[in-house]
Chain A
C-alpha cells in the first residue's frame, strides 16, 4: 500500500530550481533512502512534505489525502514527523520536556483545564509524561530525562530529536542525515535504532550521505541531482547505475562502487 506519493513536485528559490517535477512514492512499512550530492534538493523535499514551504507545482498525497499547502501542525497530526539536518532541539528545556512537547498534537488540554486542574488535566499530564518516558526508553535516553537538551552529547541529541518525532505518533518518519557527524560505532547503533523503529510499523524515509548505512538498511533508494530525480531502485541497482555514479563523480567514468562520504 502506498503511504505517500508526490507527482510533479517542483520548488524554485528565486532563479534556482531546487526541485523539478519530482514523482516519488513510498509504501507502508518500507525503509527508503533519499541520496544525492550536496545541494541536490533533499532537505527541500522534506521541507515541502512537512509544509515548511508550499510547492510551486505538483501534489503530495499522504494516506489518500492531499497535504500540500497545509500548515505543518496539520501535517504532523496526520502522521508525518521529521528530524532536522542541523539538530533543532528545545535547548533550554529538559530532555523529557522536549519529548513531552511531541505529545502536543495528540493531547488537548488548554487554558481552562490547566487553570482549574480538572481530573482530566491530571490524567492527560500523566499520559503525556508516561508516553514521553516510553519514547526515551526506546531510544535509550531515559536516564538523561532531567538534563537540559543542550547538555547532551551530539549523538544523544540526534536520538532525542528522533524520540520527540516518535512522540507525535507518526506513520511516516523523515530523518535528515541521522548519522551525520557520528563515528562508525555510533552510526551502526543509529542503523539499529532505525530498524527497530521500522519494526514498530513506522515507515521511514531517510536522507543519508553514508552509503554503507543506506545500502545496509534501505529497501529502496531514490537519487536526486540538481533538483531532478535521476534514479530509483534497490540498493544494488542504484550502486551500479551509471547516472548515479556520474552525479557523484561529475564524470561518466565507470566506478565499481560508490564510496562517497561527503558528510563524515
Chain B
C-alpha cells in the first residue's frame, strides 16, 4: 500500500515538475530531468545486459549514437519523426545483433573488450565519414526546411517541456516492457544464466540464443533514447558518445543496484544529478573539484555498499553471502 502511494506520488511529481519550473528562472531543470529520463531509458537497457546476463558492456553509447544519427539523417531526408524513430530502433537492433552473433559465444570477459572496441570504432567512423555524418562538425537539424516537426496526434513538440513529457511516457513504456520480460520464461532464463551458467545450460536453456535476445533487446532502448535525443537537441556530434559516457552508464547501473529496476532509476538519477547539484552549491574555486568528489563518492559506494543503493532483493542476499564460486562441472 505504501508502495503504491509512493509510486503514485512520484508519478504526480514527475508530471507536475515542468509546470512548476516552466516560467521560473530554473526552467533549465526541466531539461536536466529530461536528460535524466533519457539516461534512465538507456540504463534500463544496459541493466538487462549487466544486471541479468551478467555481462560487462563498455560501449553502450555507440547504440545511442546509432539511434541518434539514424534519426538525424532520416529527418534531414524528410522522413517523419515516428517512422524515423522506428528506423532508429530497428537499425540499432540490427547492428547489435551483428555484433552479438560472433562474440556472445565467447566467454564474458571478451565481451567487455569487444564492446569497448565497438564503441570507439563507432565514434571514429562518425568522426571521419564526412560525406554522411559531416565529421566532427556534426549534423544540425535547425535550419533545414525539409525537416518535419515532431508531432503527437495534433500536438507539435518543440519546447523542453514537450520533450520532457515525451521522454516521460517513453520511460513508463520501457519500465512496463522490462517488467514484463523479466517476469516471464525469458527473464527466468536470464536469471538462471546469471546464477549458474553451467547449470542453466544443462537444464535445457539455449545459452547463446537467450543471451542474444537480451543483448539485442537492450540496444533497442539505446536506439530509442538516441532517436529522441537527436530531435530534442536538434544537433548530433560524435563527441556526445564517448567511452567516458559508456563507463558512466555502467556506473549508474552498478551504483543503483544491478538487476533491479528501481535501483537503475535511482542510480541514474544520482549519477546525473549529483554533479549538477554540486555545480550549484560549490563555490567557483571548488568547481573543478566536483568530479573528484564524485569519484570519491563512487569508490565509497563500491566499498561500503557493493550491492548498490537499491539492490534487487535477490542480488542483495547473494553479495552478502561468502563467495564460493564453483568453476568445474562436477
The residue of chain B having its C-beta at the shortest distance from the C-beta of A42 within the complex is B330
Q: What is the distance, in angstroms, from A206's C-beta to the closest C-beta of chain B?
A: 15
Say whether chain B's binding surface is mostly helix, strand, loop, or mixed: helix
Number of interface residues of B (CB under 8 A): 33
A101 part of interface (Cβ distance < 8 Å): yes
Q: Which residues of A contact B236 (CB under 8 A)?
A: none
A253 interface contact, C-beta 8 A: no
Q: By the criterion CB–CB under 8 Å, are B177 and A115 in contact?
A: yes
Contact partner, B330, options A84, A109, A111, A115, Cβ 8 Å:
A84
Quote the shortest CB–CB distance from B198 to chain A (angstroms): 7
Contact indicator per residue, chain B 299-321, by CB within 8 Å of chain A (1) or not (0): 00000000000000011011001
Q: CB within 8 Å of B: which of A149-186?
A: 150, 164-165, 168, 176
Is A20 at the interface (CB under 8 A from chain B)? no
Whether a CB of chain A sits under 8 angstroms from the CB of B199 is yes
Smallest beta-carbon distance B49→chain A, Å:
15
Cα distance, A155 to B198, chains bound together (Å): 21
Distance of A102 Cα from B324 Cα, bound (Å): 24
Binds B, one of A87-95, A195-203, A216-224, A230-238: A87-95
Using A50-B202, A89-B199, A101-B189 as known contacts, say yes or no to A121 and B330 having CB atoms under 8 A apart: no
Q: Does B185 contact A (CB under 8 A)?
A: yes
Distance between B24 CB and nearest chain A CB, rounded to angstroms: 39
Question: Quick check: B204 and A115 within 8 Å, CB to CB?
Answer: no
Q: Are B330 and A43 in contact (CB under 8 A)?
A: yes
CB contact under 8 A between A93 and B314, given known A88-B326, A101-B200, A101-B203:
yes
The CB with the most chain B CB atoms within 10 A, among A86, A103, A111, is that of A111
Q: How far is the CA of A261 from the CA of B237 in the complex (A)?
A: 70
Residue B195 interfacial (CB < 8 Å): yes
Stretch at the interface among B12-20, B205-213, B241-249, B279-287: B205-213
Partner of B204, one of A43, A105, A176: A105
Identify the closest chain A residue to B193 (Cβ): A90
Which residue of chain B is the closest to A113 with respect to CB atoms? B184
Enumerate chain B residues within 8 angstroms of A148, measured Cβ to Cβ.
314, 317
Instruction: Find B188's partner among A93, A111, A117 (CB 8 Å cutoff).
Output: A93
Q: How many residues of A contact B (CB 8 A)?
A: 45
A interface footprint on B152-189 (CB within 8 Å = 1, 0 otherwise): 00000000000000000000000001001100111111
Please pick, from B198, B207, B217, B315, the residue contacting A111 in the complex, using a CB distance under 8 A.
B217
The docked-state distance in angstroms from the alpha carbon of A71 to that of B205 is: 10
Complex-state Cα separation, A90 to B326, whole angstroms: 13
Nearest-CB residue, chain A, relative to B312? A92
Q: Which residues of B contact A52 (CB under 8 A)?
A: 198, 202, 329
B185 and A128 contact, CB distance less than 8 A = yes
B137 interfacial contact with A, CB 8 Å: no
A73 interfacial by beta-carbon distance below 8 Å: yes
- Residues in chain B near residue A176, CB distance under 8 A: 330
Report the minimum CB–CB distance from A56 to chain B (whole Å). 17
The residue that A92 contacts in the complex, of B199, B217, B315, with Cβ under 8 A, is B315
Interface of chain A residues 70 through 85 with chain B (CB within 8 A): 71-73, 76-77, 81-82, 84-85
B192 at the interface (CB under 8 A from A): yes
Residues of A within 8 A of B233 (CB): none
For residue B321, which residues in chain A have a CB less than 8 angstroms away from its CB? 91, 150
CA of A101 to CA of B72, assembled, Å: 43
Residue of A nearest to B181 (CB): A114
Q: Considering the chains assembled together, what is the distance between the CA atoms of A264 and B189 in angstroms?
A: 34
- Chain B residue, CB-CB nearest to A150: B321
Q: Nearest Cβ distance between residue A181 and chain B, in whole angstroms? A: 14
Contacts A84-B199, A101-B205, A105-B204 hold; do A90 and B184 have CB atoms under 8 A apart?
no
* Bound Cα distance from A109 to B185, whole angstroms: 7
**A85–B195 contact, CB under 8 A?**
no
Are the CB atoms of A104 and B204 closer together than 8 Å?
A: yes
Tell me if A47 counts as interface (CB < 8 A to partner B): yes
Q: Are B184 and A125 in contact (CB under 8 A)?
A: yes
Given A109-B185, A128-B185; A90-B330 close (CB under 8 Å): no
Find out whether the CB atom of A104 lies under 8 angstroms from the CB atom of B188.
yes
Q: Contacts A92-B317, A109-B185 given; 16 further ones with Cβ under 8 A?
A: A47-B329, A52-B198, A71-B206, A76-B202, A82-B202, A84-B329, A88-B196, A90-B192, A90-B200, A91-B318, A101-B188, A104-B204, A109-B184, A110-B185, A114-B184, A168-B203
Sample (9) of A-B pairs whose CB atoms are under 8 Å apart: A73-B204, A88-B198, A97-B188, A110-B213, A111-B181, A111-B186, A114-B181, A115-B177, A148-B317
**5 pairs of A and B residues whose beta carbons are closest in the complex:** A105-B204, A114-B184, A76-B204, A92-B314, A90-B195
